[in-house]
Structure formats: C-alpha cells, structure tokens
Chains A and B, each alone.
Chain A
Amino acid sequence: MRPGQSGLVVEIKGGFGLISRLNALGILPGKRVVKISSMIARGPVTIEVDRVQIAIGFGMAKRIIIEIDQ
C-alpha cells in the first residue's frame, strides 16, 4: 500500500492481544483506511481511520491485511 491509497481492512493476522489493541483504535475488518505516510528504514506507518490518524509500528502494520481500492 502506497501513501495516498485507501482500502478495506480484510483481516488482522495476530493474536488476541494485537487484535484487541488494534480494534480499540478502530482498526477492524470492514473499516476503510487511508495510508498517510511511512517512515524510511521500516519506521512506523501512519494511517487514517474514522477521521483519526494512527501511527503503527512496521511489524504490526504488516499484519493488517488490506484490500486496496481500485
């Protein structure tokens, strides 16, 4: 996913803890997210969901499976 692109969350590949932490921030299957930016050197990814920006560490962000809008 490139900055500026949007898509739907399909799945979060992770354990109960990760899923509930991401859910709490509004990231759950079916939600539309927009990628704002990502830092160089596998730094955090910033996305927008429900009009709020969230910064997610690279490893966690990798586990969020997104279907990119055409």
Chain B
Amino acid sequence: MRKILLVGNPNVGKSVLFSRLTGVRTTVSNYPGTTINYTRGFTKLGEEKLELIDVPGTYTLEPTSEAEEIALKMLKNGDVAINVVNATNLERSLYLTLQLLEGDIPVVVALNLWDDTKHRGIDIDLEKLEASLGVPVVPTVAVTGEGIKELVESIPEARSPDGPPRSRDERWAAVGEIIDHVQHIEHRHHTWIERMQDASVKPLTGGLIAVAVLVIAFLVIRFIGESLIGYLLDPLFNTLWAPVVLKVGALMGGSGFLHDVVVGKIVGGEVNFVESFGLITSGLYVPFAMVLPYIISFYFVLGLLEDIGYLPRLAVLMDTIMHWLGLHGYAIIPTLLGLGCNVPAVLSTRILESKRERFIAATLVSIAIPCAALQAMIFGLVGQRGGHYVVIVYATLFIVWVILGIILHHSIKGFSPELLIEIPPYRLPPWRIVLEKMWMRIYGFLAEAIPIILGAIVIINMLYFFGVFNAIANITAPVVSGLLGLPKEAITSLVIGFLRKDVALGMLAPLALTSKQLVVASVVLAMFFPCIATFVVLLRELGLVNMCKAAGIMISASLITGGLLNLIL
C-alpha cells in the first residue's frame, strides 16, 4: 500500500485535512504543536487504498527539534508527500516546499486556508505558482471540505522535479523570487480582530484580557456543570434510578458480599449515591452525575479557547512567571490541559524543547494540577462545607506549584530555553470542530474512566471484605493520623487514588471528616501519587529513573504540604 504523508508548517491545518481525507478524528486546535505524534488513517483513490500519515508540523527539514527529526525520518519511508501550505502566509511555507522538492519524494501542494486569502487582501496566481514549483497546486479549505476531492485526484500527478540542491540562502532567495512573481497583497486597514490580537499581547490590556478570559471561562464551566447536575442528572438519578436500585437490592436479599458489590450499603432504606459504593449506585453516579458534567463543560470551554487561538497569547503573558519555574510561557499549554486530564497534559510536554523542561513540567502537572474529574469531586464534596474550603484547596495547590517549580528550577542543572512561537491569528471557532473535539474527549473519558471506576469499586469491596484495608490502615496510622491528622481509614482513599482520584475522594464521604480534615485529605490525594493512567504515560515519557525521582518528589511534597496544612488550619 502506498504511503501518503501530510507535511507542512505547524498550525496550517494538516490535521483537519487528515480528518477530512480519512474520517479518522484527530485533535485539532488553533495553536502550533497540537499534533505531537503521528496519526495514521486510510483513504481511497479510485480502487486503490492509500495509507495517510499526519506528520507533526515542521518549518524545515533541518532537524532542529524532535518534531522535525520525526518528520524527516517519516519522509524517508513515504511514497507521496502532500505539502500542506498556508495560503495566507506563502513566504513562510515555501521554504519547506522547496526543500521537499529537492528530495526524491513526489509532491503535491495543498494550498490550505484558501478562503482566508480573499478577505485578507491576498491574491495568489495559481497557474504561475504551479509553473514555478513544477508540481500540482490545489487550493483547499479543510474546515469546510472544499478542494478535498480535487486534492485526492491530484495525487497521481505528484512529481519530484529535478533540480540541484540549494544552500539555505539560495533557498530563501528562491522563495523571495517566487513570492514576487505569484503573490500580490492589497493593503488594508486593521480590522477589530487584529486590534484585539495586538491588545492581547500588550502588558496592560493583555493582562486585563487574560483575567477577564479566565474568570469568564471559570464561571461558564461552573454554570454549565452545575446546571447539568442540578437540573438534569441529579433529578434523573434520584427519581428514576433510585427506585430501581432499591428493587435490585431487595431482590438480592438486602445484604451479603454480592449485594454490597452491586448495590452497596443502603442505610435506612434510602439510596445514598455518593457513599454506598456499589456498582449500580456510586459506580454510575460518580462518573455520570458528578464528573461527566464538569468534563463536558471544561472541554467545551477549553476547546473554544484553543480554536479561537487564545492560548499562545496567554503563553506570551505568562512567560516571565513560567521562567521562575524553569519553564517558558508555552508550558502553560500542558498546564491548562492538565486541568482536564493529566494524561494528555504529560504527552503535550513534548512541545517543550529540553528534557529538563519536560521533566519539570510533567512533575508539576502531576503534583499540583488536579484533573477535571478530581476537581468535580472537590467541588461536589468540599464545596458542601463552604466555598472558602474549596478556595483553600486550590490556593494550596497553586502555592505548591509555584514553590516546587522554583525549587526544581534551582536544583536541576541546565537553563530554561527562551520562548519562540508563532502566534496564530484569532479565528472564529468552527463549531463543528469544537463540538467534535469535545465529543472525542468526552468519549475518551467514558471509555477509559468507566471500566476503571467500576473495577475500583469491586476492588474496594473486596479489600474491605477481606479486611486488607484494616491491616493497611493500622500500619500507616502513624503517618495518616499522626502527621496528617486524619482518621486512619483515610489511607484507603489514598490507596484507591492510584486507580482513580474521583472515586478515591468519594471514599472520604462516609468517614464523617471535619471540614479541615477534608481539605487536608483532598490536597494530599491530589498531590500524593498520579493515577494509573498518568503513571503509565509518565513512565513512558520520563523513563524509569526520572519517574522514580518524580514519584519521590510527589510523595514527600504531599506529606510536607499535608502536615503543614494540618498544623496551620
């Protein structure tokens, strides 16, 4: 089967084009570096089946970063390259095009974002461009699907024109000549979108915009999440599902091990969905009625911010602060992703240049950035005791994030590289893409979390039944009770935290903790150790040695922080 590679600069829409061509859904956003690994899919050209590969974005084929090295390696194994070019910025894109043409692989050029050229006053002469490059050039609008059919049909026309390899300066000179020849730009006045773009990277206006964006984002997330719980899911569970649970409980005889696994503990003939810990009670209520609403609202808002193109601007504003932590501004992207789920956050640390930065960023995310599932439970359980307790939990985690970052920055050898990023223009979010991406992420949550949550509930019941938890609780009592001031049974929650932190926090509900104890337990649970899914990617991304270091940092930091909170509060 022939391999077709999609090659191009970062953020020119390769992944959107890839989804269009193959039907495979991929994460697309409006910032450079969304695709950190390659994705494969298939498409058809007449009767022939083709393999398509979405290569991470690269500016050149001179390997200066990891993404570029990957791109270079993959080019050697490809049969045809579709060079995706940003029609609104031909100057930037053509350097890579010329490099590709100098190689042996046949090339077709997809002139993407074609619709944007018209209202930006850019006029490109397609015929002249085709003639100067010597390969087919197809204008496309990946977001709407325009030109996709023509692009596929042009694959057999792909060519590798003969020509001598050029030096870097010769190549830039050649780019300049082609641009003068084929592109004409009309001068226009600034639009309001462009004024907003400028304002959001200036210190004063940018700071105000950032605060406004983050506050609005938070309020919208709360509003959507709470509305879904209060008006839809809670009533659904309480009026429709609770009677079913009681019937099932009665059928199973009202007690016994199997009854406890399936239904959980029912006290006084009423179903307590949070505390009963059965498969059809907490096993469904925690993921669907407590966590899912916040997953939906968080990813909706994050998707909007991503696709509008706000995140790189936040990176510019945060750059100085992130340098205190040994990172640069772009590390804000893994951090924000971590507020959803730590797994994609750790993966996205690949957009950072050095191993040192990746270690710091990944460690900080897995210690101090609570995922949406855990946050939903914090809002649900700690929030009942009063909003200021939630604030204490968040403030503590934020302080830990800063202090630990500063410590890591000063204790790990090396320096933090500087920020160098292209800031994409603001774009109105394409709704189809925002919703598709949200659905992909929600589906990811359901597919990965539900089996683990249900498994965790079975394990919890078994460990209780066989008295394992009691044994552990007695061993760890000095630390848990002495240092952290928690009842010794709270260790069960920390143990289960390795599986899922949302369920683990739920296990604290029946322990009748004081508000202070609940705050301490929530913070320790958030920091103590990553959940199994995060653990696996950390191990893969950092390697065993660094993973052990990170784990050591996590455990000691969480015990110190928990101990201090216990003393102060």
Asked if A24 and B59 sit within 8 Å, CB to CB, the answer is: yes
A51 touches B120 (CB 8 A): yes
CA distance A40 to B172 in the complex (A): 34
**Cβ-neighbour of A39 out of B172, B312, B320 (below 8 A):** B320
- List 6 interface pairs A-B (beta carbons < 8 Å), by A numbering: A37-B203, A39-B316, A46-B316, A55-B423, A57-B328, A57-B419
B422 in contact with A54 (CB, 8 Å): yes
A50 touches B418 (CB 8 A): no
| Residues of A close to B212: CB separation below 8 A | none
Q: Which of A3, A20, A39 contacts B62 (CB 8 A)?
A: A20
Number of residues in B with C-beta < 8 Å to the partner? 35
Instruction: Rank and list the top 5 A-B pairs by shortest CB-CB distance, nearest first.
Output: A57-B418, A24-B59, A53-B423, A37-B202, A43-B320
Which residues of chain B in 299-342 are interfacial with respect to chain A, using CB atoms and an 8 Å cutoff?
Answer: 312, 315-317, 319-320, 328-329
B328 to chain A: which residues have CB within 8 Å? Answer: 57
Closest-CB distance, A11 to chain B (whole angstroms): 14
Contact of A17 among B64, B203, B319, B421 (CB under 8 A): B64
Q: Which residues of A contact B423 (CB under 8 A)?
A: 46, 52-55
Q: Is A8 in the interface zone, CB < 8 Å from B? A: no
State the CA gap A46–B59 with chains docked (Å): 19
Count chain A residues whose beta carbon lies closer than 8 angstroms to a beta carbon of B: 31
Is B422 touching A52 in the complex (CB atoms < 8 A)? yes
Q: Looking at chain A's contact residues, is the secondary structure mostly helix, strand, loop, or mixed?
A: mixed
Q: Which residues in B have some Cβ–Cβ distance to A below 8 Å?
A: 59-60, 62, 64, 88-89, 91-92, 95, 120, 168, 172, 185, 197-198, 201-203, 206, 312, 315-317, 319-320, 328-329, 417-423, 425
Q: Which of A21, A26, A51, A53 contacts B201 (CB 8 A)?
A: A53
Q: Is the CB of B203 within 8 A of A21?
A: no
Shortest A41–chain B CB gap in Å is 5
Q: Tell me how far the C-beta of A36 lies from the nearest C-beta in chain B, rounded to whole angstroms.
A: 5
Q: Shortest beta-carbon distance, B423 to chain A, in Å?
A: 4
User: Knowing A50-B91, A57-B419, A58-B418 touch, does A39 contact B59 (C-beta < 8 A)?
Assistant: no
Task: Please give the distance in Å from A5's CB to the nearest CB on chain B.
Answer: 14
CB distance from A12 to the nearest CB of B (A): 12
| Contacts known (A42-B320, A50-B89); A55 close to B420, Cβ less than 8 A | yes
B421 to A, closest residue via Cβ: A55
Instruction: Tell me if A33 is interfacial: C-beta within 8 Å of chain B.
Output: no
Task: Specify which chain B residues have a CB less than 8 angstroms from the CB of A57 in the assembled complex.
Answer: 319, 328, 417-420
CB-CB contacts below 8 Å: A51-70 with B: 51-60
Q: Is B422 within 8 A of A39, CB to CB?
A: no
